[in-house]
């Protein structure tokens, strides 16, 4: 079946402008007739719904649709790019001509393109499309979360909750003969809670999102999620200031994956390596982490937030081992960098939308299990900090230096988790942290869904890790 008819029959409904395979071939031919070596058409149709609730009132319920195509043309080291919301052949040809003009001033070359349809891949099956669920039922989830959070106690003074879903179909065709489609459905809820007490206002936050449909809520207890956010805020009301100085740090399963994403994951993206913007440049084959550490980027991880069947350059998602037993084994690659190095794709070419060029991006990045029982890791720590949840942070990929906030943390004394802490940061260096992991648990879990920002683009990503101990990290606390 031609892809255009298949796409037109999707649950998204009919598409006004039908793109047939022969149209794509002609458009790609136009794109390379000035002598370009490579051209690509990326088309997408995306619907999304969001709802927000603040202090018991529904503030907004919105729906949107975005549809269009981006055309990339590469000649030598020059890339031309144009995008259009007009999916007619005339609109696509105009975009192809604009991209080709940007890539090259030469002319006269005719090239015939033959597309071969790639296999259908389903990484994350969908049982109930959010498009089929009433908006009232989506809002009802937020009201339930609001009630659950407020039931935690009178100190809860503010609750904000949000819901979001998206349903995207995309197509990639290029002059290498690649021709694939993918469907991605994502569903998310989040909640933020504020408690007020003698320590001032304190916040708690939780979220849950997966690359699946509305069936997410058959398996997720959203009231428990809301109560946990409230518990975080209430616990901070009686928390003491975090200590300062270098201490052992135990990071709970799932909660520290963002540290690996930011502190070393970006440094393993081939574009940053090529630009000299990574501390890991030239270190392939070297021991860069504790031998306990195996770090993976995995776009095939079914249901997780960064799961994809194909990347946004039409290459199948993969399970990529980046660090094996502490040794740097590979980087993540997009088309241009892999082509230049003469190596296979890794399925990490991603873009925010049809209006953006693809670049090297992570999918689901995580540390594999170790062998230790998590309770034994705490018991082995005489004095230190237990981080139950990391917050936002920043990292310098060229040096590996980072700062992360501790959203939920506790003191460890005599091998026991004791008092809650507040007002603290984790300060360190990514490569040093990797080397200083001396205990690794057997309780792997993924963390909360995330959006990774890079060069002005955001894409959905996941991260995770088992409970682990870093033998020394600097705590930026306020305790005397």
- pLDDT tens column, 28-39: 999 999 889 999
**Pair type for strands 240-241 and 450-454:** unpaired
Please, which pLDDT band fits residue 158 given cuts at 50, 70 and 90?
very high
- Pick the residue with more confidence: 423 or 105? 423
3-class DSSP state for residue 267? helix
Q: What is the mean pLDDT of residues 15-42?
A: 85
Domains defined for the chain, CATH in brackets:
3-236 (3.30.2290.10), 240-476 (no CATH)
Taking residues 300-318, what's their average pLDDT?
A: 97
Burial label for 87, CB within 10 Å (0-12, 13-18, 19+), is: buried
Please compute the mean of the pLDDT values over residues 16-30 and round it to a whole number: 82
Apex 39 CA angle, 36 and 43, nearest 5: 155
- 377-413 tens-digit pLDDT: 999 999 999 999 998 888 888 888 999 999 999 999 9
- The residues with which 452 forms a beta bridge, in sequence order, are 459
Does residue 199 surpass a pLDDT of 80?
no
What is the pLDDT averaged over residues 138-154?
96
Q: Find the helix or strand (DSSP H, E) in which 88 lies.
A: none
Hey, what are 188's tokens? 């998310």
Confidence (pTM): 0.92
**pLDDT on residue 18:** 53
Residue 44 to residues 47, 68, 86, 230, 302, Cα–Cα distance (Å): 10, 6, 12, 39, 21
Q: Render pLDDT for 453-475 as a digit per residue (tens, 0 to 9).
A: 999 999 999 999 999 999 999 99
């Amino acid at each position: 079946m031609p892809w255009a008819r298949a796409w037109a029959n999707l649950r998204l409904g009919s598409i006004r402008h039908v793109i047939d395979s022969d149209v794509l071939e002609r458009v790609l031919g136009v794109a390379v007739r000035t002598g370009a070596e490579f051209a690509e058409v990326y088309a997408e149709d995306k619907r999304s719904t969001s709802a927000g609730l603040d202090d018991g009132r529904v503030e907004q319920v919105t729906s949107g649709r975005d549809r269009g195509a981006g055309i990339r043309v590469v000649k030598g080291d020059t890339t031309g790019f144009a995008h259009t919301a007009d999916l007619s052949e005339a609109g696509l040809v105009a975009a192809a001509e604009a991209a080709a003009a940007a890539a090259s001033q030469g002319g006269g070359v005719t090239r015939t393109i033959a597309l071969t349809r790639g296999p259908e891949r389903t990484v994350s099956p969908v049982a109930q499309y959010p498009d089929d669920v009433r908006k009232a039922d989506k809002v009802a989830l937020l009201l339930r979360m609001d009630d659950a959070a407020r039931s935690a106690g009178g100190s809860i003074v503010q609750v904000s909750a949000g819901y979001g879903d998206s349903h995207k179909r995309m197509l990639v065709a290029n002059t290498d003969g690649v021709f694939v489609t993918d469907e991605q459905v994502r569903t998310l809820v989040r909640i933020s809670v504020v408690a007020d007490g003698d320590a001032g206002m304190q916040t708690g936050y939780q979220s849950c999102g997966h690359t699946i449909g509305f069936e997410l809520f058959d398996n997720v207890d959203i009231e428990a999620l809301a109560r946990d956010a409230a518990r975080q805020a209430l616990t901070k009301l009686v928390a003491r200031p975090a200590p300062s100085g270098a201490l052992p740090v135990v990071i709970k399963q799932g909660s520290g994956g963002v540290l690996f994403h930011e502190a070393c994951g970006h440094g393993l993206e081939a574009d940053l390596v090529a630009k000299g913007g990574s501390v890991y440049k030239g270190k392939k084959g070297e021991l860069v982490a504790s031998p306990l550490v195996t770090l993976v980027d995995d776009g095939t991880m079914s249901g997780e937030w960064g799961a994809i069947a194909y990347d946004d350059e039409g290459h199948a998602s993969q399970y990529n081992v980046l660090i094996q037993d502490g040794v740097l084994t590979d980087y993540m690659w997009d088309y241009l960098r892999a082509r230049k190095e003469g190596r296979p794709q890794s399925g990490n070419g991603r873009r925010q939308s049809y209006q953006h060029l693809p670049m090297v991006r992570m999918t689901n990045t995580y540390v594999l299990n170790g062998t230790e029982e998590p309770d034994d890791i705490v018991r082995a720590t005489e004095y230190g900090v237990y981080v139950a949840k990391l917050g936002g942070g920043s990292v310098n990929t060229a040096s590996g230096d980072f700062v992360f906030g501790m959203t939920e943390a506790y003191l460890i004394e005599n091998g026991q988790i004791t008092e809650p802490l507040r007002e603290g940061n984790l300060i360190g260096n990514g490569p040093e942290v990797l080397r200083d992991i001396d205990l690794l648990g057997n309780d792997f879990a993924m963390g909360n869904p995330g959006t990774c920002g890079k060069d002005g683009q955001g894409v959905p990503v996941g991260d995770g890790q088992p409970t682990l101990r870093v033998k020394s990290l600097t705590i930026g606390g306020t305790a005397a």
